[in-house]
Structure 1
Amino acid sequence: MEKISFQDFYKNKTLYSLPSLPQNVLETSFIVNFKHNETIIHENETLKNIYYIIDGKAKITDIQYNGKSILLQFLKNNDWIGELTILGVEERTKNVTSIGSVTCLMIPLDIVNQYLLTDITFFKELSVFLSKKLLDRSSHFSKNQSYDLKYRLATFLLESSNNDIYQESHIMVAEYLGVSYRHLLQIFSDFKSLGYIKKIGKNNYKINRQKLMEISIK
C-alpha cells in the first residue's frame, strides 16, 4: 500500500468524483493505492479507517465457521468501505481485497467520529449509497433466478477480471452464483470451446471481453 496526504495528491492530480465532505476532513485524509489482490481491510480487525473508492474495484469476502471463504459483493468507483461499522450495524469487519490497482480516499476513524458522524450532508449521501447497495444485492438475487448461468457467468467474468485475467476460485463462484460446482465447470468448458475464455494457468483464464459483453446481462 502506498499512502500520501490528500493535499499533496490534490496538488498534482485531477481527482475523480469525490463524496461531499467538509474541507477539514479532506485536509486530514489520505490517498492510498493498493496493488492487485492486496487486502484493504482484514476480517475481524479493529477498524482504523474508512475508505472511498476513487478508482478501481474490490471484493468483499467472509470466512465461515468451517473455514470456507464466501464471496459477498463487488465494490467499484464511488463505493464506501467500512461504512456499516461506523454506523454500528456491523460488529465485525469482513475481508476487502483489491482487484487490480485501486485508489481510495482513506479517512482516519478519529476524524470520522469527530466531524462526520454529526454531518447531515455526509449522512444523506451515505443513506443514498446504502439504498443503492441494497438494490444492487436485490438485483443480484433476482438475476440468479431469472437468467441462465451462461449469461450470469459472462457478467461475473467481466466484473471480477483484472486486465482481462480471471483468477477466482470455482467453488466460491459456484456458491456466489447459486449453482452446483459441476454445472459451473460445464459452462466454463462451453466458454472455452466458444473462445470466450482461454486457460493460461492452473486457475487463470484470459477472457475475451468483446465476446462476453455480447451475452452479458446489461
Structure 2
Amino acid sequence: MQEIKNDVLRQQLIKKSEYNDRFSIDVMHETRLFRIVAGDYIVREGHQPMYLFYLARGRAKLYATLANGRVSLIDFFSAPCFIGEIELLDQHHEPRAVQALEECWCLALPMKSFRSPLLNDTLFLRNLSIALSQKNYRNIVSLTQNQSFPLENRLAAFILLTQHCDIYHEKHTQAAEYMGVSYRHLLYVIAQFTRDGVLEKQKGGYVIRDKKALTALAQEMEPEHRTAQGA
C-alpha cells in the first residue's frame, strides 16, 4: 500500500465516488489517498486498521483464516464502499483480511482521531447503516443462488467477479467452500469450461477465452433475466 500525494487525483476520486456526501462533518483536509496493487492488502488479518478506508476505485475480497488453518472466503467488495467500518464501530472486533483483486484506490481517514466525530455524525451513520444492509442483502441473495442454481451459473459469476485482466486464479478449495460444493464437482465444471473453450489452463490459473459465455451464464441468475423469460 502506497500513499499518493496527488491532490488533483484525490479531488477527482472524491468527486467521482461521492465521498464527501457520506459525511456531515468536514473530512476533506484530513483525507488521504492510497494506491493498493493487485494482491496487496488493504487490511491485514488480525491487525487493527489505522484508517477508515473508502474504496473509490477497484475490487477487493474479504477472507479469514480458520482455527484449523483453512482460509475461508467471506465476501467481495466493489467501489464505492467503506472498508474498516466494523472496526470503527467495534474496537474489539477481530479484523479479517481485505486483499485487492485489482489495482485499488482508497480514500482514508485516520481511525484514531476520527472515531469519535464519525460516531456522532448522523449522516455518516445513516449512510453506513444503508451500506451494511445492502451487504447483508447481497449475502442473502448469494446464499439463495447457491441453493437454487446449477454450479455452472454460479461458477461463471464467481470467475467474472474474481478475475484480474481476464485471468482467473482463485484456489479451488476456497472457491468450492465459498460456493458450497465439493472440490470434485468444482473441478468437473472447470474442466467442462476448458473443454468448451471458455477457459484455457495456464501456469498459475486460467485465461478467460469466452467472456461472453460466462456473462450469459451469470446473467441467468439475475431477476431481470428470469422476469423476461416469464414474460
Query: 3-state SS of the aligned residue for 2:17?
Result: coil
Residue 9 of structure 2 aligns with which residue?
9
Shift of 1:6: 7.5
Query: 3-state SS of the aligned residue for 1:100?
Result: coil
The alignment's TM-score, normalised by the length of structure 1, stands at 0.93
Residues 157 and 213 of structure 1, relative CA distance in 2, 3 Å threshold = same
Residue 115 of structure 1 aligns with which residue?
117
In 2: Cα distance, 1:176 partner to 1:24 partner: 40
Larger displacement relative to structure 2 (45-54 or 96-105)? 45-54
Pairs within 5 Å for 1:118-197:
118-197=120-199
Shift of 1:21: 2.4
In 2: Cα distance, 1:6 partner to 1:21 partner: 22
Shift of 1:31: 1.1
Larger displacement relative to structure 2 (102-111 or 70-79)? 102-111
Query: 3-state SS of the aligned residue for 1:24?
Result: coil
Letter matched to residue 68 of structure 1:
R
Query: 3-state SS of the aligned residue for 1:96?
Result: strand
Say whether the 8 Å CA contact 1:25–1:115 is kept in structure 2: no
Residue 97 of structure 2 aligns with which residue?
95
Residues 25 and 149 of structure 1, relative CA distance in 2, 3 Å threshold = same
Shift of 1:112: 2.3
Q: Deviations over 1:111-158 (max 9, x none)?
A: 322421110000000000000000001111100000000000000000
Say whether the 8 Å CA contact 1:38–1:98 is kept in structure 2: yes
Residue 226 of structure 2 aligns with which residue?
none
In 1: Cα distance, 2:13 partner to 2:42 partner: 22
**Paired residue total:** 217
% same residue: 29
Residues 192 and 60 of structure 1, relative CA distance in 2, 3 Å threshold = same
Q: Deviations over 1:147-198 (max 9, x none)?
A: 0000000000000001111110000000000000000000000000111111
Gaps of 5+ in 2: 223-231
Residues 126 and 65 of structure 1, relative CA distance in 2, 3 Å threshold = same
In 1: Cα distance, 2:115 partner to 2:91 partner: 15
Shift of 1:9: 3.2
Residue 31 of structure 1 aligns with which residue?
33
Letter matched to residue 192 of structure 1:
T
Residues 194 and 98 of structure 1, relative CA distance in 2, 3 Å threshold = same
Shift of 1:14: 7.5
In 2: Cα distance, 1:12 partner to 1:132 partner: 26
Residue 85 of structure 2 aligns with which residue?
83
Shift of 1:13: 6.3
In 2: Cα distance, 1:104 partner to 1:11 partner: 12
Residues 11 and 144 of structure 1, relative CA distance in 2, 3 Å threshold = closer
In 2: Cα distance, 1:75 partner to 1:182 partner: 28
In 2: Cα distance, 1:126 partner to 1:158 partner: 27
Letter matched to residue 41 of structure 1:
V
Residues 150 and 113 of structure 1, relative CA distance in 2, 3 Å threshold = same
Larger displacement relative to structure 2 (106-115 or 139-148)? 106-115
In 2: Cα distance, 1:130 partner to 1:14 partner: 21
The alignment's TM-score, normalised by the length of structure 2, stands at 0.88
Letter matched to residue 84 of structure 2:
G
